[in-house]
Structure formats: structure tokens, C-alpha cells
Chains A and B, each alone.
Chain A
Amino acid sequence: MKQLPANFIIGAVLVAFVVGVAALSLIWTPHDPTDLNIRAKFGAPSHVNWLGTDQLGRDLVSQLMAAARNSMTVALVAVLLGGSIGVALGLLASAIGGWVEDIVMRLADLGFAFPALLFAIMLAAVFGPSLTNAVLAIAFINIPIFARVARASGNQIWTREYVLAARAAGMNKFTITLDHILPNIAAAVIVQATIEFAVAILAEAALSYLGLGAQPPASSWGRMLSEAQTLMYLAPELAIYPGLCIVTAVLGFGLLGDGLRDMTDPRLARAR
């Protein structure tokens, strides 16, 4: 049995914790995260409110848990959406080549050049700020990233002799792409998806912080941060806890992605 890389183990533990908490919030939180109790505002940690209460007397633990769920959902939907469109475009570019490839890749460059935040603000300006628009904005920035990964690894697979053998067996490009290219680039795509998941969590927090993501009363780490900002001297813990949550989630997925990359990259595997 090969030794698992340390970053993989640490990342997996952190991710398991964050995802576990988010999943738990679906069925149970200590309190209703939106339950106001103005008399109990800025409550200290107690056996009732484990981390205390915020400026409106809402239970902090419950809010953080609900926010974890929102954050995971946004990241998952955004990465899946952007990832599948990106991978499809990348595979198309790689399979057809020529001017199709040129156009797709130049569009990807354009997507890269366009700041995600600007795009989110644009969406918010046109359709109003909402979690859906935040998801779309994050998905959009993922498209060129995945298109590049899929095309680069796809091009590599297209030169393999088993693809030549499949062509010699009369397979068309569509069949070859589905049966030979996609399974062989899956590892690279999954690694990228894990890393982009971390980026998406951060992006959701940033957009919600700016008021372009989750709208009240939905819980969000980013929005909790922005609300706590004005109370930094009064109750710094209100900013610290969501901040720690963001760090944990981003670090967890980032390390997991790095660990997966180390495990699937044959060059690194041989060096170990």
C-alpha cells in the first residue's frame, strides 16, 4: 500500500468535517438559524448557544451550519455546471481541432480575461442580486478553466495508439471521445474540480460579502462577515468564526485537490 500524501489526508479530514456539518444542517441545527431573540443579542458562549449569539440574538452555531450548506450547494452547482460545459467545450475543441479549436480556445482566453467579480456585478445589475446569479457567475468563470484542462489532456490522449486503434476500427470521433478520451482525462478533471471547488467557496463568500450573493435571511459566511464588519470592536468573534469556516473549507478542498494531483500525476508518483 502506497503512503497517502499528507496534504491529501489533512484535506480529506477538513473536507469531511465541513461537508459533514453541512449535511447535518439539512436535518438538524441546535436552533433555527433565522430565529431572532433580540434580548439575547451578543450572548456569550453557553450550553444553549455554544458559540453565543449575534447582534440580533440568532444562534451562531446554527447560522454557521446553515451557511456551510449554502456555501457547499453554491460551489457544487457552480463547479458542476461550469465544469460540464467547460469539459464539453474542451473535448469538442480537442476532437475537431482546426478552427473550432481555435475559436473555443480564444473564447476561453476571453473568459479568462474577464474578471469574475465584474461579471457578477453585471449580472446583479441586470437581474438583481441573488444566489442564483452568484452561482451563474461562478459557473461562468469555471468554463474556460475546465475547457483548457479538458482540451490539453484530451489532445494528449488523442495521440495515444489506442485512439489510433479505435480509429482504425472505424469509430467516429464522438464514440472515441466518450469511450476513450473522457475516461482517460477524468482524473485531471476531478483534480481540477476539487481545486475549483475551493475557489468557488471563496468566490461565493466574496460575492455574499459584497451583497451580490445570498440575500437575507439566508445564511452565508460572506454575509455574516460583512454584517460583523461594523461590529468588529464590539464583537470580533462574529467575524472570526465565519472567517475560520471559510479558511477551513477552502484549505480543505485546496489540500484535497493538491493531494489528488500528487496521487494521479505519474511523474510525482515515480519520484515518491
Chain B
Amino acid sequence: MFEMHEMTVRFSIGDALRDASLRIAPGDRLGIVGESGSGKSMLAACLMGMVPQSATLSGRLTIDGTDMTHAAEDLWQTIRARRAAMIFQEPMSALNPLRRVGDTVAEPMRVHLGLGKAQARARVQALFEEVGIPDPSARLRMFPHELSGGQRQRVLIALALACDPELLIADEPTTALDANVALKITDLLVHLSQSRNMALVFISHDLAAVARATTEIAVMYGGDIVERGPTAAVLGTPAHPYTQGLLAARPDPRAMPREADGSRRRLPTIPGSVPPLQAMAKGCRFTGRCAVERSECASVKPVPTGPRHTTCHALLHEETP
């Protein structure tokens, strides 16, 4: 059980993550969506104890009740791979070009589990089979450049599974892949999560992939979790103006008929862009781009309200709790 309570990651130029609260139980499949710079990866780094040294952490992060907020690096090294593992966006650059992929995957087993060469090899082979790499005994002797992008991502998934983690964090695992390969990888991650009762944190800006992969979702903007809840509910009836904007900005060829005069309807967008960290508003960080903005939005940070912990002043005033 990974629990985060009001975690804040503060850099000298601003907060990359603000008061993030989450609870991840075994088997949970949590999606995290948001634009670039919304703090998705920082949230993942928190869960892995890999926040840059220049940041100050506040709030509380516990793993099975043990406080890990300010844990030392060597304590985190016992958590990584064994409790929480991670896969990355670029399967090409996430593998050492000079090592056989089998050796890369075997390394955490040998270091953390103390397996011998033969044992580790057998386990790597079994893992390769589990993640759907054909002819594993031949593949584990190959170098990364000899594998396709999808195969490399499967190798990285095998690496993450090396020590049977309870939590797998997938940081944009499908962004660099072809659409059909991405779909297969997404389904593989869901399958692994179910068969191993392993929690999955699926970080993506691809709403379709998140909808497919997850049961819970957290929407992030500018370092805030603006809304979280069951995936179907959040994507079906988005509460926060940002989530609404994000969903409206999604191109859907079937739902986008031409106008009566034959012209294409413009895809709605969220006006403006994410301001840099140092220029973020003190209050709600969506200030300036929001359609239902109120006078207090810029200065007062909205309190998470309702079943979805939505942080929005407009909503607070609309529906009296």
C-alpha cells in the first residue's frame, strides 16, 4: 500500500507538485493524465524516491505505513525493483546500448535477490515469455539495437518485473510507439497488473489509453491533482473545468461532422498555455485559462471538495455541499 498525503515538491523557482494525495492499493490501476509540465513525472519520481536533490519535500509518503518522505537513498534502493518499479517513455534510450538485454534484466535479480547466473537466466527467460517476447532464449542474448521498439518496451517491462514489485509505474509507456503496438503494450500492462495483483500507475496524456488501462484516474494541472475518481465517471462527467477542456480538445473523427456549409468544425482548445513554474498563480493554477474563473481563484488555493477531491472555486459555489 502506497499512500501520499499532501506531498509537495518545492524547487527554488516554484512547486512542481502541490499537496498531492493518493492511495494505491495492490491491484489498483491508476491513470495520471495532464499536459507536459503538469507534475505527472514528478509524482512518479516521488513514489520511487527519485526526486532531484535540489527539491525540498513536505507532506507524507508512506509504504505499508512506513514513513518514506525523507528516507535515505540506501533505504530507497531496497524499495526500488522489489516494491516499486518503473518503465520509461523511450524504450530506445532506456536500455544500455552496450549490454545484452538479458544481462540488463538479470541485474536487479542478481543484486537484490542474490540469484546465480543460471537461476537469473531462467527467470529472465520466464519473464520474457510472460511479457510476450517470442523466442526468449535467443532474444536475451541480443543488444537493444537488434530489437524493435515494441520488443524493447517489453524488455523494459520485464526489467521492471524482475523482482516482483507491488507497484509498477509506467511513465508514458506508449508515447514513443506505433498506435497498434501501443495498444498491445497497454493491454499487456493491464494483464500483468491483474495476473500479478500488482498496482499499476499509468501516466499518459493519451486519454484513450488511460481509459482503456485504468479503473481510477487523477487529472493533474500545474503540479496539482485537480480531480480524481473512477476513470469512467471522471471521463464521462468531468467536474473540473480543466478536465472538461482536456476532454473537449480530444479529436474524434466520428463526432466531428462537417458544418452545414461543408467546412470542418474547429477543434476546441484550452486557451493559452501552461505558464512556467515561477509564473504559476498562487491560488488555482488554472487561473488565466479557465472559463468559469472567479475573483478569488488567483490568490486562494481551492480546497479539494466532494467525492472526486475536485479543486475548483466555481464548483464550490455552484453546488452547495
Residues of chain A touching chain B, judged by Cβ–Cβ distance below 8 Å, are 160-162, 164-172, 175, 179-180, 183-184
Contact = CB atoms under 8 A, between A and B. Distances in A.
Decide if the interface of chain A is mainly helix, strand, loop or mixed.
Answer: helix
| Tier of interface size on chain B | 20 to 34
A172 B94 contact: no
Interface in B86-138: 86-88, 90, 93-99, 104, 107-108, 111-112
B81 A170 contact: yes
A167 B77 CA distance: 8
A175 B94 contact: no
A162 B85 contact: no
Nearest to B169: A168
Contacts of A175: 107, 111
A165 B94 contact: yes
Contacts of B82: 170
A180 B98 CA distance: 8
Contacts of A160: 93
Given A166-B96, A166-B107, 4 more contacts: A161-B90, A167-B80, A170-B79, A171-B111
B213 interface: no
Contact of A162 (B79, B93, B162): B93
Contact of B108 (A161, A169, A184): A169
B93 A169 contact: no
Contact of A169 (B74, B98, B159): B159
Contact of B77 (A170, A180, A183, A184): A170
Given A169-B85, A169-B108, A171-B107, A183 B80 contact: no
Given A161-B90, A166-B107, A172 B96 contact: no
B56 interface: no
A171 B80 CA distance: 8
B156 interface: yes
Contacts of A183: 96, 98-99
A236 B206 CA distance: 80
A165 B170 CA distance: 12
B256 to A, nearest CB: 36
Contacts of B46: none
A168 B95 contact: no
B78 interface: yes
Contact of A168 (B50, B74, B99, B104): B50
Contacts of B94: 161-162, 164-165
Interface centre among A161, A172, A175, A179 (most CB of B within 10 A): A161
Nearest to A97: B53
A254 B68 CA distance: 54
Contacts of A184: 96-98
Nearest to B162: A169
B297 interface: no
Given A170-B112, A171-B107, A171-B111, A165 B80 contact: no
Contacts of A167: 50, 80
The 7 closest A-B pairs by CB, nearest first: A170-B80, A170-B81, A168-B86, A161-B93, A169-B108, A161-B94, A162-B96
B48 interface: yes
A168 B111 contact: no
Nearest to B156: A165
A172 B81 contact: no
A167 B111 CA distance: 12
Contacts of B81: 168-170
Contacts of B156: 165
B162 A165 contact: no
Contacts of B111: 170-171, 175
